[in-house]
Structure 1
Amino acid sequence: MTAEPSALALFWVGVIFLSLLVYVVLDGFDLGVGILFATTRDRKLRSEMMGAIEPFWDGNEKWLVVVGASLFAAFPAVYAVFLGAFYIPVLLLLFGLIFRGVAFAFRGRAGSEWLWDWGFGIGSIVVAFVQGAAVGAILGGVRVENHQYVGGPFEWLRPLPIVCGVGLVFGYALLGACWLILKSDADLRDWAYRRIDWLAGVTAALLTTAGVGALMELTATHAPGADRPWALIFPILAAAALLGVVIAARTRRDELPFLMAALFIVAAFLTLPSILWPYLIPYELTVADAASPDSSLSFFFWGAGLVALPVVAAYTILVYWTFRGKQKPASAGYSASSVRPAGLGQYAPADHNSAVGSLVGEGAMAVSLAEKSPAALWDAWEARAKWEWTVAIGVILVILGFVALGSIVAATVAGLWIVAVAMVVGGVAEIAHGFAMRRWAKFFFWTVIGCLYVIAGE
C-alpha cells in the first residue's frame, strides 16, 4: 500500500507544479518568440520580436529557479534522480538559456550581430526541445534503484522523447506567435497571423503522435494513468483549445489567440499529473517516498513559502500590469532603434554632445543621443572586443561537458558543488544589487531573491 504524503509535502508538490505551470506558459511564449526569430531574416521584424519580450523574459525564468530550489529542498531524492537521468538535457538547457541571455545583452552593443541572432534562435529551440524530450522520457519511466538513477546517459533520447521535444518546439512557437499578435501591430502582427494555421496543424499532428506513444507506454508499464479514463478530459480540452486558436485567429481579435493558446498549454500540462500521480519519478518515487522530513519542509515553508514566493508572484504581476497592452512604437525596436547599425564603423565621428541624430551609412538611420555618447560607444567597443573570450569559454565548457560523460557520478557531484557555489555568489550579488536600488519595492524583491539563492546554495 502506498504511503500517504504529509500536508507539507502536498503543499510543496503543489507549489512545484504551479510554478512549473506558470513557467511553461510565461517562458513558453518568449521561447516561442525566439524560435520564430530564427525563421526570418528581416532585421526589423527581429528587433520588434525582441522588443515584444524584452520586459518579461528574465522575470519569466525566475519561476524555473523557484522550481529548482523547491525541488532541491523539498524532494532531494527526485532532484538527484532527475539530474542523473537528464544530465545532458539539463546542460543543454543551461547553455540555451545562457546563449539567450548573452544575445539580449550583446546584440545591440557589439558587432557580429549574426552570432547573437544565431545564439538567441538556436538557444530557444534547444531549450524547448530538451524540455519536451524530458517529459517524453519521464512518461516512459526512469530506471531507479535505491533512490539512484541506474540508466545510461542517453536513455532520454528515444522516439517518444524526440517526438515530444519537437512537438513542444512547435507548441511554444504557436504560443509565441499568439503573443506577437497580442503585443504588436502592423507588419509583425500580420506576419504572426499568417503562421497560426500551419503551426497549429503541425503541433496537433506531433502531439497526437506523442499521445498515442504515451498511451502505449502507460499500458505497457501498467501505470496508474491507464486506469483513469477521466484523465482524458485534459487532452480533449487541449484539442478544443488548439482548434480555438485557429478560429480565434480568423476572427482577428488579437486577445483571443493567446488566451486559447495558453489554455492549450495548461490543459496539455495538466494531463501529466492526472496520469502520473502519485509518482514524481515514474514509476519509482512517489510524493511520500521522496519528501524531506516535515521539520525541513516546515523550515522551508516559513522562509521561502511565506516570503519569497509571494514576492516573485507580486513582481510578475507588477511587470505584466506595467507593460500591458500593445508595445509602443518607441519600444518596438530592440535597443532603442528598430534597425541597428551593423557595426561601430557606421557610427559617425561627429560631435557626441549634439542632440540631433545623425544619418549613418546607406540606410540613413537616426541614432539617439544616448547611443552616440562616448560612454555608450566605449561599452560597445569593449563588448565587441571581448566576444571572442565569451565564445572560447563556451567551447571549453562544452568540451568539459563531454569529458564529464566519462564519469557521470563524479560529474554530478562536481556539478552540484559548482551550482551551489554559483548560487551563493549569485545570491550575494543579488543582495548587493538590492541595496543599490532606490525604491523599496525593488530593494525588497532583489534582497529576498538573493537570500533565496544563498539558502538554496547552502
Structure 2
Amino acid sequence: MSGAAYWLPVIWTVILAAAILIYVILDGFDLGIGMLFAVERDRGRRDVMVNTVAPVWDGNETWMILGGATLYGVFPGAYSTLLPALYLPILLMVLALIFRGVAFEFRIMTRDSGRSALWDLAFFGGSAIAAFCQGAILGGIIQGVSVTKGAFNGGPLDWLTPFSILCGLSVMCGYALLGACWLVWRTTGVLEASCRFWARRLAIGLFLGIIAVSLWTPMLHEPYLVRWTDWPNIVFVAPVPLLVMLLGFLFVRGLQREHPVTPFLCALGWFFLCFTGLGISIFPYMVPPSLTLWDVSSPPSSQAFQLVGTAILLPIILTYTIYSYRVFRGKVTEADAYH
C-alpha cells in the first residue's frame, strides 16, 4: 500500500471524527434543551431556554452534513453498508429533526393561539427521538454489522438490541445534561437554579451509562477487548477512568460554588473521553467488525481532490461558528428575544 493510500484515509478519519464530535457538542445541548421541556412547564422560562440557542441552532447541523458528505465521498463502502443496516433509526432521526425544526418556529408563531402547547410537545418529542436514534445508531455500529463480500446482509432490525437501546438512553441523558449545563451558563434566577438541580441528577444517569457501556463494549468483540488491554493502547486507556472521576469532582464542585461555565466544560470533557474510548475500541474498523477504513475508502486521487475543498471550507465553517457564538454570548433573560 502506497503512502497516500495509507495516510489519506487516516486523515479523513480524523476529519470525520472531528465533525461528529463537534456536532455532538453543539447540537447535543440544543437537543438537550428540547428534552428539558419535560421538566420545565413555565412558558416564559421555556422561551428563555429556546432563546439561548435561537441565533445559532441552524448552523449546528452543518457538522452533521459535513460528516455525511465525508462518509459518502471518502468512504463510499462504509456508506453503502451502514445505510441499509441503519435505515430505520436514520430515517426516524431525520424526521424527528425536521419535525423539531418546524416546532421550533411554530411554537413562537402560535404564541397567542391555543396550539402553542402542542408545538412545545412536538419540540420535546422531536428532540428526544432524535437523541435516542443517534445513540441507537452509535450502538448499532459498535456492536457490528453483518457483512458478506463487502455488502450488508442482515435484517432491518438488527440494530435494535439491548446494547443499542442502552446507548440511545445514555445519549439522551448526556444531551439533557449538556442542555442543563448550557442553561446554567446562559440563564439566571429560577431557571438557572432549576437547571443546577437537574444537572446533578442527569450527571448521575450519564455516569451510570458510561460505566455500563464501557463494561459492555469490550465484551461485544474480542478485538475490542484486546485494544483496551494490549500495549501500547493501555497507556491511553488507563488514565480515562481517572479523568472521568476528576471531571466528576470538578463538576460537583462547580455546581456547589455556582460557577457558571465549569459544569458545562466538565460535561464536554465526559463526551470527549467517551468519544476517545470509542475511537480506541473500533479503530481501524469503519464497519465493525470486518471492514477497515482502507477497505471502504475511495481512490486516493478522489480523496486528495476532496481534501483540497475541505481545507478551504472547513476554516470558513469554523470561523462562522466561533463568530456566531461569540456575538450571542452572555446571559439571556425574559427581556431578550431572537424571534
TM-score normalised per structure 1: 0.69
Q: Shift of residue 172 of structure 1?
A: 0.9
Alignment-derived partner of residue 319 in structure 1: 324
Looking at structure 2, the residues matched to 104 and 276 of structure 1 have their Cα atoms a distance apart, in angstroms, of: 36
**Structure 2 CA distance for partners of 1:223 and 1:122, relative to 1, 3 Å:** farther
Alignment-derived partner of residue 120 in structure 1: 123
Q: Shift of residue 221 of structure 1?
A: 7.0
1:219-270 per-position Cα deviation (integer Å, ceiling 9, x unaligned): 4876644534332433442343234322211110111111111111111111
Alignment-derived partner of residue 299 in structure 2: 293
Matched, 1:62 2:62: yes
Matched, 1:37 2:37: yes
Mapping of residues 154-303 of structure 1, within 5 Å: 154-219=157-222, 224-225=227-228, 227=230, 228-230=233-235, 231-303=237-309
Mapping of residues 247-396 of structure 1, within 5 Å: 247-303=253-309, 305-327=310-332, 329-331=334-336, 333=337, 335=339
Q: Shift of residue 24 of structure 1?
A: 0.8
For the Cα contact (< 8 Å) 2:224–2:281, is it kept in 1? Answer: no
- Which residue identity lines up with residue 120 of structure 1 in the other structure? F
1:6-65 per-position Cα deviation (integer Å, ceiling 9, x unaligned): 222222111100111111111111111111123222111211110111112111111001
Looking at structure 2, the residues matched to 48 and 222 of structure 1 have their Cα atoms a distance apart, in angstroms, of: 45
For the Cα contact (< 8 Å) 1:239–1:264, is it kept in 2? Answer: no
Looking at structure 2, the residues matched to 219 and 242 of structure 1 have their Cα atoms a distance apart, in angstroms, of: 30
- Which residue identity lines up with residue 321 of structure 1 in the other structure? R
Looking at structure 1, the residues matched to 86 and 286 of structure 2 have their Cα atoms a distance apart, in angstroms, of: 15
Looking at structure 1, the residues matched to 169 and 249 of structure 2 have their Cα atoms a distance apart, in angstroms, of: 20
**Structure 2 CA distance for partners of 1:244 and 1:4, relative to 1, 3 Å:** farther
- CA root-mean-square deviation: 2.0
Query: Could you say what secondary structure the match of 2:26 adopts?
Result: helix
Matched, 1:80 2:86: no
Looking at structure 2, the residues matched to 235 and 290 of structure 1 have their Cα atoms a distance apart, in angstroms, of: 33
Looking at structure 1, the residues matched to 95 and 245 of structure 2 have their Cα atoms a distance apart, in angstroms, of: 32
Matched, 1:152 2:158: no
For the Cα contact (< 8 Å) 1:19–1:63, is it kept in 2? Answer: yes
For the Cα contact (< 8 Å) 1:38–1:122, is it kept in 2? Answer: no
Structure 1 residue aligned with 2:138, among 114, 132, 135? 135
1:157-179 per-position Cα deviation (integer Å, ceiling 9, x unaligned): 11111111101111111111000
Query: Could you say what secondary structure the match of 1:280 adopts?
Result: strand
Looking at structure 1, the residues matched to 175 and 118 of structure 2 have their Cα atoms a distance apart, in angstroms, of: 23
Structure 1 unaligned segments of length 5 or more: list them. Answer: 336-458
Looking at structure 1, the residues matched to 136 and 47 of structure 2 have their Cα atoms a distance apart, in angstroms, of: 30
Larger relative contact order (CA 8 Å, sep ≥ 6): 2
1:390-446 per-position Cα deviation (integer Å, ceiling 9, x unaligned): xxxxxxxxxxxxxxxxxxxxxxxxxxxxxxxxxxxxxxxxxxxxxxxxxxxxxxxxx
Work out the number of aligned pairs and report it: 332
Q: Shift of residue 279 of structure 1?
A: 0.7
**Structure 2 CA distance for partners of 1:55 and 1:10, relative to 1, 3 Å:** same
For the Cα contact (< 8 Å) 2:219–2:225, is it kept in 1? Answer: no
Looking at structure 2, the residues matched to 56 and 232 of structure 1 have their Cα atoms a distance apart, in angstroms, of: 37
TM-score normalised per structure 2: 0.92
Looking at structure 1, the residues matched to 263 and 14 of structure 2 have their Cα atoms a distance apart, in angstroms, of: 28
- Which residue identity lines up with residue 321 of structure 2 in the other structure? T
For the Cα contact (< 8 Å) 1:278–1:286, is it kept in 2? Answer: yes
Bigger mean CA deviation after superposition, 223-232 or 249-258: 223-232
Structure 2 unaligned segments of length 5 or more: list them. Answer: none
For the Cα contact (< 8 Å) 2:30–2:57, is it kept in 1? Answer: yes
Alignment-derived partner of residue 26 in structure 1: 26
Looking at structure 1, the residues matched to 223 and 75 of structure 2 have their Cα atoms a distance apart, in angstroms, of: 27
1:79-109 per-position Cα deviation (integer Å, ceiling 9, x unaligned): 1111111100101110111011101221111
Query: Could you say what secondary structure the match of 1:195 adopts?
Result: helix
**Structure 2 CA distance for partners of 1:46 and 1:249, relative to 1, 3 Å:** same
Instruction: Quote the sequence identity (%).
Output: 37
Query: Could you say what secondary structure the match of 2:221 adopts?
Result: helix
Looking at structure 2, the residues matched to 296 and 181 of structure 1 have their Cα atoms a distance apart, in angstroms, of: 45
**Structure 2 CA distance for partners of 1:236 and 1:147, relative to 1, 3 Å:** farther
Query: Could you say what secondary structure the match of 1:107 adopts?
Result: helix
For the Cα contact (< 8 Å) 2:33–2:179, is it kept in 1? Answer: yes
**Structure 2 CA distance for partners of 1:169 and 1:181, relative to 1, 3 Å:** same
Query: Could you say what secondary structure the match of 1:194 adopts?
Result: helix
**Structure 2 CA distance for partners of 1:238 and 1:268, relative to 1, 3 Å:** farther
- Which residue identity lines up with residue 322 of structure 1 in the other structure? V
1:141-186 per-position Cα deviation (integer Å, ceiling 9, x unaligned): 1111122111111111111111111011111111110000111111
Bigger mean CA deviation after superposition, 136-145 or 321-330: 321-330
